[in-house]
Amino acid sequence: MAESECQEENCDNAIRMVKDVGRDLNELLEEMEKLTVQAAWMTYNFITIQTNPELVSSMKHLENAFLRCKEQMEKKWQELLKE
């Protein structure tokens, strides 16, 4: 009887180990997918910038405009809260 229990325990351990390995593989695959997407976007951005250098200055201009707008919105919001 002890041998039967030992075999069942070994079988349970093997099943648990296979499930753990499967879960770990899924997590690694998801991480690889994220890295692949990031690499693709980096490549796209690099090629876009190399093809059109004016894009960098345009993006900087848009970023500055966004930051100014955000600053004004925060000021207005604070004024409304004070009222």
Q: What is the DSSP letter of 76?
A: H
| pLDDT value, residue 70 | 92
**What would the mean pLDDT of 38-56 be, rounded to a whole number?**
85
Higher pLDDT among residues 56 and 23, named by residue:
23
**What would the mean pLDDT of 60-68 be, rounded to a whole number?**
92
Domain ranges of the chain: 1-51, 53-82
Output the pTM of the full model: 0.49
Distance CA 22, CA 29 (A): 10
pLDDT by residue (tens digit) across 1-46?
456 666 777 888 888 998 999 999 999 999 999 999 999 999 988 8
Distance CA 13, CA 77 (A): 59
